[in-house]
Amino acid sequence: MESGIKSDNTGKVISIRGSVVDILFEKHLPPIRSLLRTGTNNQISIEVFSQLDTQRIRGIALTPTQGLARGMLVQDTGAPLQTPVGKGILSRMFDVFGNTLDKQGIPTEVQWRSVHNEPPALEQRSTKTEVFETGIKVIDVLMPLERGGKAGLFGGAGVGKTVLLTEMIHNMVGQHAGVSIFCGIGERCREGEELYREMKAAGVLDNMVMMFGQMNEPPGARFRVGHAALTMAEYFRDDEHRDVLLLVDNVFRFIQAGMEVSGLMGQMPARLGYQPTMGTELSQLEERIANTGSGAITSIQAVYVPADDFTDPAAVHTFSHLSASIVLSRQRASEGLYPAIDPLQSSSKMATPSIIGQRHYDLAQAIRRTLAQYSELKDIIAMLGMEQLSPEDHKVVGRARRLERFLTQPFFTTEQFTGMSGKLVSLDEALEGCERILNDEFEDYPESALYMIGAIDEAHDKSKSSVAQEDKNVANVHDA
């Protein structure tokens, strides 16, 4: 942690209510967002939230307030919360104060910068539009991501947001020469520790920085983790002119921390108990993620959707900032179709002919149309059975079911659980596979031959092995 206290302005604690502390300053009031230190070894950090009158401020504690008592002296640091930036932070793991969490000592060659920065001005932003390939078929074909854009992974609890995020880190490190910054907001400590070990084993830590604000930390600290990670990302973009991949898990926890802070401060709640300032707070964070002339911050953000309700204000506000929305569906997860992405609910602003090309656009539209028709026919199939469908509808159902299975993919990060080796599929291979399925080239193949494969040609081998297995099973039955 940065230790230098630069101000001789001191105050006195006059009231403590949980994380909310009122402090009296007789000389002059510290500005809002200033960081104050108190406690026996200055171990308690407080951020100024509001100025109550000419001598009193109300602050929110970023650390637990055990041991704090009325009358204790408070030191104004004369600066807002700061975080370390520089080459020395690569391959390290930090908390919101810039303390290292990986037991590797204090990083050298670092400067300290305020976590509160303005977003880049409009004239500094780049207007170039490029697609960002991930190697995951369903994303690259139906909801292409934007370089320097913001993509959201939406889903309820346990549908695979963190797994998909981890897979994207794995795939992008190979083809993405920039820096990856992982920001865990309100994370379980298990997830942080697992991710650190996985990234170390994959040999990608050298170009990666991790920042965590765990679930058990006070809301004030969780609320500032995103800002601290963004300050690091802005350093690599603006000072080193490198592309940055910023992975945020989970934006909902940022909104939730803001809601807790707002409640502690006694603000009147808005819709569904959310803070009245939610839109502003989210915008201050999201607008800093931008593509400028010197480099791009491409962001992929997991967003927990409370009770799978996409009309929840947290989900609605987050949607408005994104260039691509990847919606995970519990229904597809229960059918074993992983990644459990719902192709009809997910969307991308990049999916226009002028950006991805006419062939890709037409194919994506044809896939969506086929899947939408199948979705409409599901009710008829459930009530009357497949026999009642017309021959043309039969074909549509066959195509759609084969497309659904082709758009599944074994992940590198789940090899130890599934026993299947991960696959990275280029956009051309994915498009070719979808085109051939739509042209009915695989109507004689069992649907299982297209499940959990990489490129489409793997279906031939899988089909042969499944036929051989069936013959073997029939022979065993006869022998018995």
* Residues with Cβ within 8 Å of residue 132, at least 6 apart in sequence: 144, 145, 146, 147, 149, 298
Q: Which residue has the tokens 């009245």?
A: 276
Is the CB of residue 137 less than 8 Å from the CB of residue 410? no
3-state secondary structure of 44: strand
Long-range contacts of 189-195 (CB under 8 A, 24+ apart): 189/214, 189/215, 189/216, 191/162, 191/249, 192/93, 192/101, 195/166
Q: What is the spatial distance between Cα 128 and Cα 124, in angstroms, rounded to a whole number? A: 12
Q: Which helix (H) or strand (E) element contains residue 76?
A: strand 73-80
Residue 59's Cβ-count burial label (10 Å; 0-12, 13-18, 19+) is buried
Active-site residue identified among 187, 217, 234, 281: 187
| Coil vs helix vs strand at 145 | strand
Report d(CA 120, CA 394) in Å as an integer.
53
Q: List the one residue out of 383, 395, 384 whose CA is nearest residue 442.
A: 395
DSSP letter, residue 125: B
User: 462 catalytic, yes or no?
Assistant: no
What is the C-alpha R_g of the chain? 26
- With residues binned 3-state (H G I as helix, E B as strand, rest as coil), the percentages for the chain, rounded to 5, are 40, 20, 35
161 included as an active-site residue? yes
Give the C-alpha distances (Å, rounded to integers) separating 399 from 272, 331, 404: 42, 20, 9
Q: Catalytic one among 58, 137, 150, 161?
A: 161
Tell which residue, 253, 241, 243, has the closest CA to residue 217: 253
Full DSSP string of 399-433? HHHHHHHHT----GGGHHHH-PPP----HHHHHHH
Exposed/middle/buried for 320, CB within 10 Å: 0-12, 13-18, 19+? exposed
* Separation CA 247–CA 182 (nearest Å): 5
DSSP of 267-303, one letter per residue? PPP-GGG--TTHHHHHHHHHTT--BBSS-BEEEEEEE
- 315, two tokens: 């989900």
12, 33, 56, 188: which one is catalytic?
188
Q: Are 200 and 209 in contact (CB under 8 A)?
A: no
Q: Give yes or no: 188 in active site.
A: yes
What residues are labeled active site?
161, 187-188
